[in-house]
Amino acid sequence: MGSYQNINTLKPEGIENKKAYLIGGGIASLAAAEYLIRDGHMNGKNIIILEETDILGGAMDGCGNAEDGYVARGGREMEEHYECTWDLFGGVPSLEEPGRTVLDEFRELNIDDPNYSNCRAIANRGEKLDFSSLGLGEIHVKQLTKLFLATEDALGATTVEQFFEPTFFETNMWLYWRSMFAFETWHSVVEMKHYMHRFIHLMPGMSKMSGLVFTKYNQYDSMILPLKKLLESKGVVFDLNTQVTNLDIDITEGKKTVTGIHLTRNGEKEEIIKTTKDDLVFFTNGSMTENSTLGSMEKAPVIDRSEGGCWRLWKNISKKDASFGRPEVFCGNIDKTKWESYTITSKGPKMIKLIEKFAGRKILPHKTITGGIITIKDSNWVLSVTANRHLQFTDQPDDVVVLWAYALLLDKEGNFIKKKMGDCTGKELLQELLYHLGIDEKDMQEYIDTSIVIPAMMPYVTSQFMPRVKGDRPQVVPEGSTNLAFLGQFAEIENDCVFTVEYSIRSAMMAVYTLLGLEKNPPEVYPSQYDVRVIANATKTLYSGRPLPAEAIIKKLLKDTTLEGLI
- In contact, 307 and 437? CB cutoff 8 Å: no
One domain, residues 262 and 321: yes
Distance CA 315, CA 328 (A): 8
pLDDT tens readout for residues 442-482: 999 999 999 999 999 999 999 999 999 999 999 999 999 99
One domain, residues 137 and 195: yes
Last residue of a domain, one of 158, 185, 207: 207
- In contact, 516 and 507? CB cutoff 8 Å: no
Residues of the chain under the 50 pLDDT cut = none
Longest distance between any two alpha carbons in the chain, whole Å: 78
CA distance readout (Å), 475 to 260, 479, 522: 21, 8, 15
Distance CA 163, CA 62 (A): 37
One domain, residues 137 and 182: yes
Distance CA 102, CA 533 (A): 31
In a domain, 381, yes or no: no
Residue 1 has what pLDDT? 57
In a domain, 522, yes or no: no
Percent of the chain with pLDDT over 70: 100
Distance CA 323, CA 567 (A): 46
Residue 548 has what pLDDT? 77
CA-nearest of 59, 24, 16, 17 to 460 is 59
**Number of structural domains, the chain?**
2
Q: What is the pTM of this model?
A: 0.96
- In contact, 344 and 430? CB cutoff 8 Å: yes
One domain, residues 264 and 323: yes
Distance of alpha carbon 167 from the chain centroid:
28
Question: Which residues span the domain enclosing 261?
Answer: 3-54+240-290+304-333+472-515
CA distance readout (Å), 555 to 282, 309, 542, 547: 53, 59, 19, 11
In a domain, 396, yes or no: no
One domain, residues 323 and 246: yes
- In contact, 208 and 116? CB cutoff 8 Å: yes
Distance separating the N- and C-terminal Cα atoms of the chain: 30
The residues carrying an active-site annotation are 77, 195
DSSP 152-185: HHHHTT-BHHHHS-GGGGGSHHHHHHHHHHT--T
In a domain, 507, yes or no: yes
Phi and psi, residue 487, nearest 5°: -125, 160
Last residue of a domain, one of 163, 184, 207: 207
One domain, residues 319 and 248: yes
One domain, residues 199 and 272: no
Distance CA 446, CA 167 (A): 41
How many other C-beta atoms lie within 10 A of the C-beta of residue 430?
27
One domain, residues 251 and 179: no
Q: How many residues comprise the chain?
A: 567
Last residue of a domain, one of 189, 207, 225: 207
Residue 484 has what pLDDT? 98
Half-sphere exposure of 146 (CA within 13 A, CB side): 13
One domain, residues 140 and 195: yes
Q: What are the residues whose beta carbons fall under 8 Å from the beta carbon of 315, sequence distance 6 or more?
A: 307, 327, 328
In a domain, 316, yes or no: yes
In a domain, 200, yes or no: yes
One domain, residues 199 and 263: no
Query: β-strand 339-347 against 400-407: which pairing, if any?
Result: antiparallel
Q: What angle separates helix 138-149 from helix 189-198, to the nearest 10 degrees?
A: 90
Distance CA 231, CA 216 (A): 21
CATH number of the structural domain spanning residue 321: 3.50.50.60
Distance CA 514, CA 403 (A): 41
DSSP 427-482: HHHHHHHHHHTT--GGG-HHHHHTEEEEEEEETTTTGGGS---TTSS-BSS-TTBS
